[in-house]
Structure formats: structure tokens, C-alpha cells
Amino acid sequence: DGIYGKAFYQKNVPEYAPNWVKTVNIISEEGNTTEYMIINDKESLIWAANQGSIELHPWLSSISTLDNPDFAIFDLDPMENTDFEDARKLALALKTLFDREGLLSYPKTSGSTGLQVYIPIEPKYTYKQVRDFAKLFCLAIERTFPDIATTERNINRREGKLYLDYLQNAKGKTIIAPYSTRPKKGAPVSCPLLWEELKTGVTPDMFTIRTMPERIHQKGDIFQDVITQKQNIDRWI
């Protein structure tokens, strides 16, 4: 129905899906079974797009290690009194902390007004361990930038500050996929960035379905390192 039609987040693969579409059954804590689609090839991605899927939201863990995420996520979500520039400022502050601790980190736009920072890790930690790890750094940023940053869960108590969301690091939670479009005017894309780009200044509207092909042609898939890097975070657990 396009970006102005009714939309919903579909988890179960429809019954009419072709038999070559791979799926996996996952049982929730409540005992409910959900048949998720596995998109790991071009054909499956095209099929999903043909179903009207504008956004794609994958899990943080792989099928073989569902209880152990492949990365820690730092979701920087501006509220009414903050904006992308504040998200950029806080992302760079996180980068400084990570560099100091010897951790590799990778930013991407959310496709909206925020930013997300990935720390790729060894898939051996529980979601709670990874969530607590992310919380440490978010609290440090909150203490340093109390005027614009908050970890407050209650929306009514955030005072319009940018929300540092470490709670996304939970089993079954999802996040917008790299290179996924958003159902917004201009067709913005959740775009992986180089830190140098974030330092020099970028804006979300620079990354759309029209600009991404040339960008990928020039820079390649800069998100690939997030997939291949596996860091040990034992010292923070």
C-alpha cells in the first residue's frame, strides 16, 4: 500500500511462500511458535520486497546461537528537544570511549533522525550480559551530557532528551537492517557510515534509495566488518 498505507510488522512467513524460502521456527518464552523467514540470499530478499516489505528488522543473533547476540547495539534516538546533530555528538563521544577501551565500533544511520552504533562481539555472551555491557557505556554518556542524553525508559520523564537505548539488546528484539529503506518521504535508507564521515558532518537525507547504489559502488559494503569482527568483552562482564 506504499508509505501512506496501513502497515504492520509481520513475523510469521505467509503460507503461500515458495518452498525455496528458508525459515526457522522459534518458540517464545510464552510457548508460542513463530516461523521466521531467513533472508540470506538475493532471491529471498527480492521475494520479501515483492510482498511490500519496505523495512526489514533482523534479530541481533544468528540461528545457530539464538541466545547469544553477534553484536551489542547502542541506539541513539532523538526526542522532541534533540536532533540528528545531538545524535552525532553522542555517537562520537561513544567512539572516544570505545577507542580508549580498545573496542572496534561501527556507526550507521537509523534511516530516520537517529544513529546506531554496533560493537561486534563473540557470540558467547547472554543477552543480559550484553545489555549490561551496553548500559555501562550509556550511563557514562548520560553523566557526561546530562542536558541532552538520558537512559530513562519512561517517555514522559525524558524531558525531550535523546534516548540512549541499551534495552534493544534483548532476545527477540530487532533493529532496522543496514541498507533497509524506511517508509518516509524521499525513501531514506539506514546507511552504514565511516567514522570519518560522521566527524566531518553528514545528514540522514543524504542516504536514500537513489544515492545508495553509487555510494556502495564507491565504498563497497562497509558494514561487512561488523559481520566478520568478533571481539571479546570478558573484562566488562
Domains and CATH numbers, the chain: 1-53 (no CATH), 65-236 (3.90.920.10)
Segments of the chain with pLDDT less than 50: none
Cα–Cα distance measured from residue 55 to residue 7, given in angstroms and rounded to the nearest whole number: 10
Instruction: Return the pLDDT at 3.
Output: 78
Residues 6 or more apart whose Cβ sits within 8 Å of residue 81 = 148, 159, 160, 161
Neighbours of 69 (CB within 10 A): 26
Cα angle 191, 83, 115 (rounded to 5 degrees) comes to 30
Which residues, 6 or more positions from 107, have their beta carbon under 8 angstroms from its beta carbon? 91, 95, 115, 116, 117, 118, 192, 193, 195, 198
Q: Chain-centre distance of CA 39, in angstroms?
A: 16
The DSSP bridge partners found for residue 181 are 189
Contact partners, residue 129, CB within 8 Å, separation at least 6: 237
Asked if residues 141 and 94 have their Cβ atoms less than 8 Å apart, the reply is: yes
Angle at 193 between CA 123 and CA 182, to 5 degrees: 90
The amino acid that residue 71 corresponds to is F
pTM confidence score: 0.94
CA distance 112 to 192: 13
Close Cβ partners of 113 (under 8 Å, ≥ 6 residues apart): 77, 78, 83, 84, 87, 204
Pairing between β-strand 23-27 and β-strand 71-77 as defined by DSSP bridges: unpaired
